[in-house]
Amino acid sequence: MTKTKKPSARELPLVKRRIAALLDKTEANGCTPGEAAAAFEKAEELLVKYKLDPDLFRWPSRPSTPFGSARSGPASSKQPQVTVSGRGKGIGRLAERLIVEHPDWTYRRVAEEVNRQIEGATASEKSVRWYASRMRQDGKQVPDRSRRS
């Protein structure tokens, strides 16, 4: 989730400089279309995050190749931002549930099941092991099964 925050007096010039630098990344200045679109989108995110006036900056024309949710100019700052939870596929939630529900399964088996249940998922044994580690750090009881095959 993009949190809005008022920049400190020390941060404000740095944030403004960063946004201006991002807006300078255009195809005309030698960037690829994807780089220009990514920089444009990041500038929009920072504008919203720090509640800055879009009129403070010189906005280039819309990049020729969209990147993610790149939109044109400062008007997008009035549109709601997509939250992190809205972008996810539920891979972590499913992996954590399977880790708890199937203590006899290996991390590899959990990853295979996640990939089977969620279209486009690319969970690996290593990523499932990471979820288990995070669960332990959060104080949940998770059996250690990293050495099982």
Is the whole model's pTM more than 0.75, yes or no?
no
The pLDDT assigned to 50 comes to 85
In tens, the pLDDT along 111-128 reads 999 998 888 888 999 999
| 3-state secondary structure labels for all residues of 39-52 | HHHHHHHHHHHCCC
Query: Percentage of residues in the chain with pLDDT exceeding 90?
Result: 14
> pLDDT of 70-102, one tens digit each?
444 444 444 333 333 334 568 888 998 998 888
Task: Give the 3-state secondary structure of the chain.
Answer: CCCCCCCCCCHHHHHHHHHHHHHCCCHHHCCCHHHHHHHHHHHHHHHHHCCCCHHHCCCCCCCCCCCCCCCCCHHHHHCCCCCHHHHCCCHHHHHHHHHHHCCCCCHHHHHHHHHHHCCCCCCCHHHHHHHHHHHHHCCCCCCCCCCCC
The residue among 78 and 38 whose pLDDT is bigger is 38
For residue 116, give the amino acid letter. R
Instruction: Please state the rounded mean pLDDT for residues 29-48.
Output: 86
Write the burial class of residue 123 (CB in 10 Å: 0-12 exposed, 13-18 middle, 19+ buried). buried
Categorize the per-residue pLDDT at 9 as very low, low, confident or very high, splitting at 50, 70 and 90: confident
Mean pLDDT of the chain: 78
Q: What is the mean pLDDT of residues 17-41?
A: 86
CA dihedral of 67, 69, 71, 73, whole degrees rounded to 10: -90
